[in-house]
A and B are shown apart, each in its own frame.
Chain A
Amino acid sequence: MNMIVQPEKRANKLKSTRIAGKLVNDYWEMVWRAKEEGKLVCWYEGSAINPFLEAADIVWVHGEAYSAMLAARHQEGPAQQAAEERGYMKELCSYARTHLGCAVSNQRNRNDTDTGVSNAPDDNDLASKLPPPDMIISAYAYCSTGQQWDEMTSRLFGKKIPIFNVSIPWVWGSKPDAKYLQGREWNETSAYVERQLMDMVKFIEERTGKPYPWDRLRELMTNVKRASELRLEAMDMCTATPAPASFFDWVVSIAPINNLPAGPQIVDYFQTVRDEVAARVASGEGAVPKEKYRLFFDGIMNWNKVGWLAEKFARYDAAVVTGRYTHMAFWQEPGLIDPQNPVLGMAQNYLICPNNHAAPILIDLIMGLCEKYQVDGMVIHASRTCRAFTNPQFLIADAATKRLGIQTSMFEGDVTDESFYKDELLNSRVEAMLEAIDSRRMARA
């Protein structure tokens, strides 16, 4: 029971995920070169509409992905500072604040150039390096900030950027026939979003001045579907004891499925990951050196803390085996995608953003994961500036306790603003939860 953490225990991260780092770097290099190469650039947030853009040879900038990348590299400070100086308060979504800070920095440098002041951005100043948008597409499920974020971005660029809005309705799930991916509401909302995506394609055609290359989209979605299947297959193998990979391995694998170019390299990536996971299952190799506890992680990642948290849980002998953010998002229903006619399946995957379900469906899905992965406890990260994700967390905790009889523990942090994270708060809460799990095990023994 004693919670003296043992520093020599290290997380046994998947080796194959290192490839993701290179893919991410290559992608952002491509983004930073976009204007030099005469490419159109689209800024968007939320839903993974990037295959639509990639097919049309438009460079795509996903706001959260850029903010997360800056935070993971601990380079989010200048962008957040620029946003704060512009008046965006600290309580605003830190993804948005960081990304808006990039827009502010971009415009600041541009204005300086216009006035003849030499203030060319340092090549290492990632806040200023983003190419400005030629268009903005707003396609956000269940985020109270998303559309305002896009609107503010447009204002920062002088309200000259064309915007297209895709409205993704909340899935109420309240009708008698409503179930996960079933019922009249589901069918109607799927068709509604599909129609808007078709309109979005017309908007893209207007911007490029070319007919939309549907064959290219089919090709890309074939890759996305296969990559997703391999990713889910690898995740499923983590029902094994010890779990061969952890939530944190899946966190670092988000970019390849969510926003990197959807070429064959993403299929290769997840094939390699899947094979490594399978090899670990065969040899009994775990994601933590001594798996004593299996945990569910609810909440978005603290992007400044990915490695830090992976090591912390390893020291506690805790394998974080599954989570809402990783296992209930990012093309998680590849079966819905028909590569030959992909738009409806894409719309449906956008609709099942893990925040976009009414609580009963959301909670059933989470409880299902907890049972499938046989977890002993649930760690809940309440992100200070993403209340969309935190809203149902007390209901989730309550269901975990009452339905499954498992311990839960909540800590406050944030997605990209490190100042909201307090290490001792997490330590005392996680340790208390693990001690409670131990007490119960001893009482049962």
Chain B
Amino acid sequence: MKSYVMGIDFGSTTAKTVILDLKGKVVVSCVAHMGAVSGEGVKASTEGALKQAGLTQADIGRTVSTGYGRRMLDIADKNFTEITCHARGAVTMVPEARLVIDIGGQDSKVISVDANGLVAQFAMNDRCAAGTGKFLEVLARAMEIRLEDMGDVALAAKEKLKISSMCATFAETEVISLLAEGQTKPDVLGAVHAAIASRTIGLVGRVGKKGPVVMTGGVAKNPAAVHYIQEALGMPLILPGDPQTAGALGAALIALDDYRSEHKAELAAMEEDGIEAQMAEDKACVPGCRGNPTAAPKKGLLGALGF
């Protein structure tokens, strides 16, 4: 039996990989940037993750893929949609979350989850790259500003301007016109982020506004996007430590469920072996007691016997 599982989110602009051990602990996560959906980009991400963990593909018991390129991966045993994987990953990162806003490179989605963490309803951007990371990328190029600097500059906006088009191409024209009129870059960028927030709120309306709200995806790292969405939503956004890897984490957790379910008997035996070893180490008659039997875990064979 193998000791690790892997989740890969093969997105439109980045590839994310998460490796878990069989207890669900994140061993490593890796994000690789791609020019476009490509086998090379995803290879860089998976190989980077394996290298960081000191593993090879042969050490991985199950691999699940998600994202636009999910069907392109030969190494994936199964694939699931971004909705399922992002919901699972986001709720694992922030268990109290009931609404997930994910804005990635090519799509934006809002997922409502029930008290059990299951997908209750979802909505995605219907047309082109309206309100996504790609939208920001196109406008960053038009404004000659680095993508990673956009958020901070936008937060310095003083005037409220309006970008009415969500089509990246037409929005680019609007942005150029505003700059030509003499509007400042921060004000124009503020309008760009407000436009994304407006689009996101439309999706929230479709699934039903509720909280707590977690935001994932690459755009969650942009402080202006977070600011404008919070303002439009009227609710705070919870930002997990590594928002870009929520989908890959969800995929890895599904891989883990699958692998554990397939190897239930072996895992139970390993658990018993572990308990025995722990007892020997603790020199205890009840595992984990260390002089306090009530603290002992009621699991496995001993739990079944009433210990």
Q: Does A382 contact B (CB under 8 A)?
A: yes
A4 touching B78 by the CB < 8 A rule?
Answer: yes
On chain A, the number of residues with a Cβ less than 8 Å from chain B's Cβ atoms is 26
A435 touching B80 by the CB < 8 A rule?
Answer: yes
Q: Does A1 contact B (CB under 8 A)?
A: yes
Tell me which residues across on chain B come within 8 A of A408, comparing CB atoms.
121
A443 touching B116 by the CB < 8 A rule?
Answer: yes
CB distance from A316 to the nearest CB of B (A): 12
* Assembled-state Cα–Cα distance A182/B63 (Å): 58
- Residue on A with the closest CB to B64? A2
Find A394's partner among B84, B119, B206 (CB 8 Å cutoff): B206
A436 touching B124 by the CB < 8 A rule?
Answer: no
Tell me which residues across on chain B come within 8 A of A3, comparing CB atoms.
79-81
Contacts between the two chains (Cβ within 8 Å), count? 62
Interface residues of A in 378-436 (CB under 8 A from B): 382, 394, 397-398, 401, 407-412, 424-425, 428-429, 431-432, 435-436
* Assembled-state Cα–Cα distance A410/B202 (Å): 14
* Assembled-state Cα–Cα distance A440/B116 (Å): 10
Q: Does B82 contact A (CB under 8 A)?
A: yes
B79 touching A382 by the CB < 8 A rule?
Answer: no
Asked, given contacts A401-B121, A432-B119, A436-B119, whether A425 binds B126 with beta carbons under 8 Å apart, the answer is: yes
* Assembled-state Cα–Cα distance A443/B118 (Å): 9
Q: Does A439 contact B (CB under 8 A)?
A: yes
B119 touching A431 by the CB < 8 A rule?
Answer: no
- CB-defined interface of B75-94 with A at 8 Å, one 1/0 digit per residue? 00011111110000000000
On chain B, the number of residues with a Cβ less than 8 Å from chain A's Cβ atoms is 22
B80 touching A1 by the CB < 8 A rule?
Answer: yes
* Assembled-state Cα–Cα distance A239/B118 (Å): 28
Q: Does B135 contact A (CB under 8 A)?
A: no
A2 touching B78 by the CB < 8 A rule?
Answer: yes
CB distance from B205 to the nearest CB of A (A): 9
Tell me which residues across on chain A come within 8 A of B206, comparing CB atoms.
394, 397
Q: Does B122 contact A (CB under 8 A)?
A: yes
Q: Does B23 contact A (CB under 8 A)?
A: no
Tell me which residues across on chain B come within 8 A of A412, comparing CB atoms.
126-127
Tell me which residues across on chain B come within 8 A of A409, comparing CB atoms.
122
CB distance from B177 to the nearest CB of A (A): 23
Q: Does B179 contact A (CB under 8 A)?
A: no
- CB-defined interface of B267-291 with A at 8 Å, one 1/0 digit per residue? 0000000000000000000000000
Tell me which residues across on chain B come within 8 A of A425, comparing CB atoms.
124, 126
A429 touching B124 by the CB < 8 A rule?
Answer: yes
CB distance from A287 to the nearest CB of B (A): 25
B84 touching A439 by the CB < 8 A rule?
Answer: yes
Tell me which residues across on chain A come within 8 A of B27, comparing CB atoms.
none
* Assembled-state Cα–Cα distance A424/B254 (Å): 22
- CB-defined interface of A253-280 with B at 8 Å, one 1/0 digit per residue? 0000000000000000000000000000
**In the complex, the 9 A-B pairs of residues with the closest C-beta atoms, listed nearest first:** A432-B83, A2-B78, A432-B81, A436-B119, A435-B84, A412-B126, A431-B81, A439-B118, A428-B81
Residue ranges of A at the interface with B (Cβ–Cβ < 8 Å): 1-4, 382, 394, 397-398, 401, 407-412, 424-425, 428-429, 431-432, 435-436, 439-440, 443
Residue ranges of B at the interface with A (Cβ–Cβ < 8 Å): 68, 71, 78-84, 116, 118-124, 126-127, 206, 208, 254
Since A435-B81, A436-B118 are in contact, a sample of 17 more A-B pairs with Cβ atoms closer than 8 Å, ordered by chain A residue number, is A1-B254, A3-B80, A4-B78, A4-B79, A382-B126, A407-B119, A409-B122, A410-B126, A412-B127, A425-B126, A432-B81, A432-B122, A435-B80, A436-B83, A436-B84, A436-B122, A439-B119
Pairs A–B under 8 Å by Cβ, sample size 12:
A394-B206, A398-B208, A401-B120, A409-B122, A411-B126, A425-B124, A428-B81, A432-B83, A432-B84, A435-B83, A436-B83, A436-B84
